[in-house]
Amino acid sequence: MENPNICLALTGETLKKNEETARKYSGYVDIFELRADFLNHSELPLIAEFTGMVDKKVILTVRRERDGGKYRESEASRVNLIKAALSGKFDFVDVEEDLRDREYEKLITSSGAVVIRSFHDFDNVPENLVSRMRKMAVSGKEIVKAAVMPKSTADLLSVFKAAGELKDLKKILIGMGDYGFSTRVLASRLGSFLTYTSALNEHQAAPGHIDPETMEEVYRFSAIDESTRLFGIIGNPIGHTLSPKIHNPAYRKLNMNAVYVPFKVDDVKAFFELADLLQVQGFSVTIPHKGNVIPFLRKKDPATEKTGACNTVVRTAEGWQGHNTDVDGFLYPLVRHYKGSFPRGIKVTVIGAGGAARAVVHALAESGCSVLILNRTASKAEKLAENFGCKWASLDSEGLKMMEDFSELIVQTTNAGMEPDTTLDPLEGYSFKGNEIVYEIIYKPLITRFLSRAREKGCTVITGDKMLLAQAWRQFKLFTGHEYPENI
Ligand code: ATR
**Is 99's C-beta closer than 6 angstroms to any atom of ligand 1?**
no
Q: Residue 105: count other Cβ atoms within 10 Å of its Cβ.
A: 20
Which sign, positive or negative, has the C-alpha torsion 16, 20, 23, 25? negative
Burial of 340 (0-12, 13-18, 19+ CB in 10 A): exposed
**Is 354's C-beta closer than 6 angstroms to any atom of ligand 1?**
yes
Closest CA to 438 of 399, 406, 470: 406
Nearest CA to ligand 1 atom 2: 355
Tens digits of residue pLDDT in 156-198: 999 999 999 999 999 999 999 999 999 999 999 999 999 999 9
Nearest CA to ligand 1 atom 7: 354
Q: Span 397-423, mean pLDDT?
A: 96
For the CA of 356, the closest atom of ligand 1 is 4
In this prediction, residue 342 carries a pLDDT of: 80
* pLDDT band at 396; cut points 50, 70, 90: very high
The reply to whether omega before 237 is within 30° of 0 (cis) is: yes
Q: Are 348 and 410 in contact (CB under 8 A)?
A: yes
Q: Are 176 and 147 in contact (CB under 8 A)?
A: yes
- Domain architecture of the chain: domains with CATH: 5-226 (3.20.20.70), 244-327+470-480 (3.40.50.10860), 340-465 (3.40.50.720)
- Predicted structure pTM score: 0.94
**Is 329's C-beta closer than 6 angstroms to any atom of ligand 1?**
no
Cα(107) to centroid(ligand 1), Å: 62
Catalytic (active-site) positions: 290
* pLDDT band at 488; cut points 50, 70, 90: confident
**Is 287's C-beta closer than 6 angstroms to any atom of ligand 1?**
yes
293 has a pLDDT exceeding 90: yes
E strands, 25-76, where? 31-35, 57-61
In this prediction, residue 203 carries a pLDDT of: 86
Cα(300) to centroid(ligand 1), Å: 26
For the CA of 395, the closest atom of ligand 1 is 29
Work out the percent of the chain whose per-residue pLDDT is above 70. Answer: 100
Nearest CA to ligand 1 atom 29: 426
Cα(289) to centroid(ligand 1), Å: 16
* pLDDT band at 344; cut points 50, 70, 90: confident
**Is 416's C-beta closer than 6 angstroms to any atom of ligand 1?**
yes
In this prediction, residue 66 carries a pLDDT of: 93
Closest CA to 177 of 199, 193, 159, 192: 159
* Angle between helical axes of 243-253 and 464-480 (0-180°, round to 10): 50
What are phi and psi for residue 133, nearest 5 degrees? -65, -40
460 has a pLDDT exceeding 70: yes
**Is 444's C-beta closer than 6 angstroms to any atom of ligand 1?**
no
DSSP 309-375: ---EEEEETTEEEEE-HHHHHHHHHHHHHTTT-PPTT-EEEEE--SHHHHHHHHHHHHTT-EEEEEE
Closest CA to 392 of 363, 376, 412, 372: 372
Tens digits of residue pLDDT in 73-112: 999 999 999 999 999 999 999 999 999 899 999 999 999 9
**CA separation, residue 455 to residues 356, 418, 427, 434 (Å):** 23, 17, 14, 8
**Is 407's C-beta closer than 6 angstroms to any atom of ligand 1?**
no
Cα(463) to centroid(ligand 1), Å: 18
Q: Span 305-321, mean pLDDT?
A: 96
Q: Are 441 and 333 in contact (CB under 8 A)?
A: no
Q: Are 222 and 3 in contact (CB under 8 A)?
A: yes
Q: What angle do CA 232, 235, 237 make, to 5 degrees?
A: 125
Closest CA to 408 of 382, 449, 372: 372
Pairing of the two strands 229-235 and 31-35: unpaired
Cα(238) to centroid(ligand 1), Å: 19
Cα(398) to centroid(ligand 1), Å: 19
Q: Measure the CA–CA gap between 396 and 85, rounded to whole angstroms.
A: 70
In this prediction, residue 1 carries a pLDDT of: 65
For the CA of 352, the closest atom of ligand 1 is 14
Instruction: Look over the chain and give the mean of its residue pLDDT values, rounded to a whole number.
Output: 96
In this prediction, residue 204 carries a pLDDT of: 85
Nearest CA to ligand 1 atom 5: 354
